[in-house]
Amino acid sequence: MKIEISHTTRYTYPEAVTDSVNEIRLTPRTNYRQSCFHHEVKVTPAADLMTYEDYFGNRVHAFTVNRPHKEMVIQTRATVVTVDKPQGVGLPSVPHAEQLQLLQNEAFRDRYCEYLLPTRYTEITEELYAFAAQHPLEEASDLHSWANRLSSTIYEEFTYDPEATSVHTTVRRTLRLKRGVCQDYAHLMIAVCRSLGVPTRYVSGYHFVGDLQGGNADFEQASHAWVEVHIPGTGWLGFDPTNNTEVNWRYVKLGHGRDYQDIVPVKGVYCGVKGELDVAVDVRRMEQ
């Protein structure tokens, strides 16, 4: 499917600010499930863009606005073609017993160590172990179906509530509240997987839901977050516990990291007074 994305980030300040240094991670990836055919970035006030790949392979645009300004706008547009077939089709697989053996393999664990260690967001606690105990790895038929069941459990036992948490909320607090948003759901699934030795990473991107709203795609949406679990013998597969589904053609991936902190879409520092932030995202399906 061909998907068009428009993303506008607007900062406004009551007084002029200066020396604004920023990084943005808003370039769609190209991989076996999607191809980015067009991407553009526009910054107002005008600024020179420097681009590079970070440690995790995410495309980063960096820029500085030194002169005084009371508003800064970052606009990105992209056209991405996604694969309209179930993930994992055509990929290799191994028996569950071999999957469990690979999880204990020292070379395997060394290779994916970044996605096995807890972070500030995904702290492993006694409460987390108790929640994870609902889904023992050894009793699953395979890790693919195990990850699906875990995703479903999070979807069923937690309430989606944009007012309950913030970008700083940790898994410890999410477990106590039993509510949150896509970032919280993703961090919880990551923490459970890592507590059992399954490499898992945080993914940022977009989710097209226009035709799920009465066929009307003409409305603004927010960015989205989900997880990718490394299935030994197969590779990275995506799961969205917020919507209780596997990644499909509706998902456009921007980047991945250990948790939200690694792939904040827009971040920076500046000299001046506190401002206000407004973000508008529009995701549309284009005619083929």
Q: Measured between alpha carbons, how far is 38 from 40 in angstroms, rounded to an integer?
A: 7
Q: Measured between alpha carbons, how far is 79 from 36 in angstroms, rounded to an integer?
A: 6
Q: Measured between alpha carbons, how far is 198 from 143 in angstroms, rounded to an integer?
A: 9
For residue 197, what are its two tokens? Answer: 């030795």
Q: Measured between alpha carbons, how far is 156 from 244 in angstroms, rounded to an integer?
A: 8
Cis peptide upstream of residue 241 (ω within 30 degrees of 0): no
Question: 3-state SS string over 202-247?
Answer: EEEEEECCHHHCCCCCCCCECCEEEEEEEECCCEEEEEECCCCEEC
Of 17, 5, 2, 15, nearest in space to 269 by CA = 17
Question: 3-state SS string over 79-95?
Answer: EEEECCCCCCCCCCCCC
Q: Measured between alpha carbons, how far is 28 from 177 in angstroms, rounded to an integer?
A: 33
Query: What string of pLDDT tens digits covers the 288 residues of the chain?
Result: 999 999 999 999 999 999 999 999 999 999 999 999 999 999 999 999 999 999 999 999 999 999 999 999 999 999 999 998 888 888 889 999 999 999 999 999 999 999 999 999 999 999 999 999 999 999 999 999 999 999 999 999 999 999 999 999 999 999 999 999 999 999 999 999 999 999 999 999 999 987 665 544 444 456 899 999 999 999 999 999 999 999 999 999 999 999 999 999 999 999 999 999 999 999 999 876
**pTM, to two decimals:** 0.94
